[in-house]
Amino acid sequence: MTTAPPRPPGVGTGVADEFFDALTRADEQHALDVAGGLVAAGTPVADVLLDLVGPAQQRVGLLWQRGEWSVAQEHAATCINERVVAAVGGLARGSGERGHIVLGCLDGEWHSLPARIVGEVLRQHGWRVTFLGASVPTAHLVSYLHEQGPDVVAVSCALPVHLPGAHRTIAAAQRTGTPVLAGGPGFGADGRWARLLGVDAYAATATEAVGLLDSGRWADVPGGAGHAAVPESGGAEYCGLRARRSALVRDAVDALGGASPLAGGGGTLDGDAYDDTGQLVDFLAAAVYLQDRDLFLDHVRWLGLVLAARGVPTTGVRTTLDSLDAGLHDFPFAQGCIADARTVLAAEVSR
């Protein structure tokens, strides 16, 4: 009779709850102990990252969205998670023999944890991974690609507002002859915006990225720059909108008497009035760039949820939309977006 080798423990609910509890209390050492304990007991590093750290981070985001956690709490938990990824990743090193991947977040993109997790998972699968960090400037990325000549460059984008900038980075990377793999929810739920921007490959999850890279289908891409479905300039309406950005933001802030569109009620979401208004304009610009109203509507819908969770009325957002509408009377696509956004907000209010 043979005895099966002891199965390494998976990431059960008990462990996940203990880990999340440590994040809630900002107890970094305990979080490290829980994750490190799993690895010591034989759970593969990739499983710990994908089944423990990843879902915990999603819970953190959800708690902030619902207004149950403050920004500072969310930041503290995210910092601990980043430490856990680095520490757990350091416990087992891959061979690095499969090839070299350079990984980074797009310029302006500061959500680096998902990219960090993907990087560690790829490392575990035998790739040599260079992680360039959050918000990598395009010039930095391009000089790095020329110097190192990696097999593939992977870019991560969490928010679609960065897509116009992402396009410039992707095209610049492709012009070095390096195939670009895109990932992250910023490229749309099904990666449709990644394809519009002409990336060489798109992976929705870390596991998908591993499979795609192993298949070698990325290897023979002859510099895909110029395969994008949208022009790198973004077209006339986008350019016009960018040129008018300052005036649009100033007029909208004036219309709200200097307040943020996200202020009001007893909420805590209002940041800088110009910052918050500017971001709304930037989402609108990104929707115009990709000629996809849903990009703007998804953001407005999400804002509605976040504001409702904090008891903040959407009047500020609606006033801002009115002001943008007036300032963009000769921008047909943007007008369509704004009209739809009003409907979306009205539906949220009536619910």
Partner 1 sequence: MTRHGVNADADRSTTAPPRASARPAGPEHRPATEPPTVEAHLLEGSRTGVIACDERRVVRSANAAALRLLPGLAVGEVLPAGPAGLPSSADGETVELEVGGRSLAARRQDLPHGWSGWHVEDVTEPRSRTDNLLAERARSRFLAEASNRLKLSLHPGRTARAAAQLAARLADAAIVVLPVAAGTVQWFRCGTDEAGSGRLPARELPEPVAAALDGRTVPPAPLLPAELGGEPWAPQAPTAGALVTALPGNGKPAGALVLLRHGDRPDDAGPDAALVHEFAQHAGIALAAAALYAQQARTAGVLKRSLMEPRLPEVEGVTLGAAYRPAEEGLLIGGDFYDVHPCRPDDPNGTMLLLGDVCGKGVDAAVSTGQLRQSVRALRRVEPDPVRLLELLDATMLEAVPEDADPRFATLVLGTVRPLPGGGLRLVLAGGGHPAPMVVRRDGVEVVEIGGTLVGGMRRARFRSRTVDLAPGEACVLYTDGVTEARGGFDGAQLFGEERLAETLRGCHVLPAPGIAERVVQHADRWLASGNHDDIAVLVVQAPLPVGPAAGRRHLHAVTAAEPTTTGAEEEPA
Which of 5, 147, 329, 351 is the binder for partner 1 (CB under 8 A)?
A: 147
CB 198 within 8 A of CB 173: no
Single-letter residue type at 328 = L
Tell me the closest approach of the beta carbon of residue 23 to partner 1, in angstroms: 12
- 235 forms part of the interface with partner 1 (CB under 8 A): no
- 326 forms part of the interface with partner 1 (CB under 8 A): no
Interface with partner 1: number of residues (CB under 8 A):
62
Candidates 2-10, 60-68, 246-254, 295-303: pick the segment binding partner 1 (CB under 8 A).
246-254
- 146 forms part of the interface with partner 1 (CB under 8 A): yes
- Identity of the residue, 102 or 345, whose beta carbon is nearer to partner 1 in the bound complex: 102
Which of 6, 13, 220, 330 is the binder for partner 1 (CB under 8 A)?
A: 220
CA angle 203, 206, 209 (to 5 degrees): 45
Half-sphere exposure of 49 (CA within 13 A, CB side): 28
d(CA 114, CA 80): 14
Which residue, 102, 105, 217, 219, is CA-closest to 157? 105
Take residue 23 and report the two structure tokens written for it.
């994040």
- Identity of the residue, 222 or 266, whose beta carbon is nearer to partner 1 in the bound complex: 222
- 90 forms part of the interface with partner 1 (CB under 8 A): yes
Tell me the closest approach of the beta carbon of residue 349 to partner 1, in angstroms: 28
- 291 forms part of the interface with partner 1 (CB under 8 A): no
- 72 forms part of the interface with partner 1 (CB under 8 A): yes
CB 248 within 8 A of CB 328: yes
Which of 229, 272, 326, 343 is the binder for partner 1 (CB under 8 A)?
A: 272
Which residue, 29, 77, 30, 85, is CA-closest to 52? 85
Region of residue 5 (left: phi > 0; alpha: psi -120 to 50; beta: else): beta
Give 166-181 as a DSSP string: HHHHHHHHHTTT--EE
Which of 9, 16, 18, 26 is the binder for partner 1 (CB under 8 A)?
A: 26
- Identity of the residue, 144 or 331, whose beta carbon is nearer to partner 1 in the bound complex: 144
The 8-class DSSP code of residue 232 comes to T
- Identity of the residue, 195 or 250, whose beta carbon is nearer to partner 1 in the bound complex: 250
Candidates 47-55, 103-111, 199-207, 325-333: pick the segment binding partner 1 (CB under 8 A).
103-111
CB 202 within 8 A of CB 191: yes
Burial of 215 (0-12, 13-18, 19+ CB in 10 A): exposed
Placement of tokens 């503290």 in the chain: 76
Which of 40, 41, 219, 326 is the binder for partner 1 (CB under 8 A)?
A: 219
DSSP reduced 3-state for 39: helix
Which of 37, 240, 265, 278 is the binder for partner 1 (CB under 8 A)?
A: 278
d(CA 243, CA 246): 8
Candidates 207-215, 269-277, 308-316, 338-346: pick the segment binding partner 1 (CB under 8 A).
269-277
Residues that bind partner 1 (CB under 8 A): 25-30, 32, 70, 72-73, 75-76, 78-80, 82-87, 89-90, 107-108, 110, 116, 130-135, 137-140, 142-149, 175-178, 219-220, 222-223, 246, 249-250, 253, 272, 274-275, 277-278
